[in-house]
Amino acid sequence: MTTYVPSITLPDAVFANPAASILVPVGLGLGVGYSVSPKSTQKTYLALKQPPYRPPPQVFGPTWTTLYALMGYSAYRAWTTGTASLNPNTVQLTKQGATLFTIQLGLNLIWMPLFFGLKRPVEATADIVALTAVTGYLTYIWSQVDSVAAWCLAPYLGWLGFATYLSVGTGHLNNWNFTNKERETKTSDTGSGMNKDYVNKAPEQK
C-alpha cells in the first residue's frame, strides 16, 4: 500500500492552487511532446504496423491536453476537499493520493520518450501497464475523498486502457522492434545526401 511520501510528491502549493494544478501537468505534457519532436513522432507513428481502431495522429494532441487538464483539476478537487476534512483518514487518503498522482504523472511523461524517442516498445508497454494500474488505484483512493475528483480521472483511465491496447498491439505487430523500420534514402533524385525514412511509410500525395 502506497503511503504519503513528501520527497517524491509535488509540492502542496501545486495541489492547492487550481491554475497550478492544471497548468503543471498540461505544461509538462506539452514540453515532453515537443522535446521528442512532433513531426518525427508522427512519421514514426504512421510507419509502424498498427492494430485496428488506430486513431489519426492529429487526435492525440487535443486529447492529451484535455486529459492533463482534467487530471490537474481532479488533483485540486481532491486536495482541497480532503485536507479540509475533519476526518484524519480522509486527510491521509488525500495525501496518499497526492503521492500516487505524482508517480503516475512521472510514468506518463516517460512513455513517449521510451516509445518514440528511444524506440523501446517493451519498456514503454511495461511503463503504460504500470501507469494504468497506478491511475486505477489513485481513482479508487480519491473516490473515497471526493466523487468529482474520481470522475474527472475516469476519461483518463479509459484512454489509458485504449493506449495500452495500442502499445501492446503495435509492439506485437512490429515484433517488439522499431529500430528496423528506418532506412537510408537520398535527399533528392540527383543529390548525394542521405536521409532517414521508414519502410512502412505511406507514399506522399502529389
The pLDDT confidence band at residue 37, using thresholds 50, 70 and 90, is confident
The pLDDT confidence band at residue 1, using thresholds 50, 70 and 90, is low
The pLDDT confidence band at residue 129, using thresholds 50, 70 and 90, is very high
177/17 Cα distance (integer angstroms): 43
157/83 Cα distance (integer angstroms): 24
What would the pLDDT profile of 136-147 be if each residue is shown by its tens digit? 999 999 999 999
| pLDDT(67) > 70 | yes
- The letter for the amino acid at 148 is V
Cell numbers given for 145: 475523498
- Percentage of the chain with pLDDT > 90? 72
| pLDDT(195) > 70 | no
| pLDDT(203) > 50 | no
| pLDDT(7) > 80 | yes
Higher-confidence position of 136 and 200? 136
Cell numbers given for 181: 523500420
Cell numbers given for 38: 512532433
Specify the range with the lowest mean pLDDT, choosing from 29-43, 83-97, 138-152, 187-201: 187-201
- The letter for the amino acid at 191 is G
Helix axes 147-173, 60-83, angle to 10 degrees: 140
Task: Give CA separation, 196 vs 53, 70, 113, 179, in Å.
Answer: 27, 37, 19, 12
Question: What rounded mean pLDDT belongs to the chain?
Answer: 89
| pLDDT(171) > 90 | yes
Give pLDDT, residue 131: 98
Over residues 127-134, mean pLDDT: 98
135/103 Cα distance (integer angstroms): 9
pTM of structure: 0.86
Task: Give CA separation, 13 vs 56, 57, 75, 84, 177, in Å.
Answer: 37, 35, 11, 14, 42
47/200 Cα distance (integer angstroms): 5
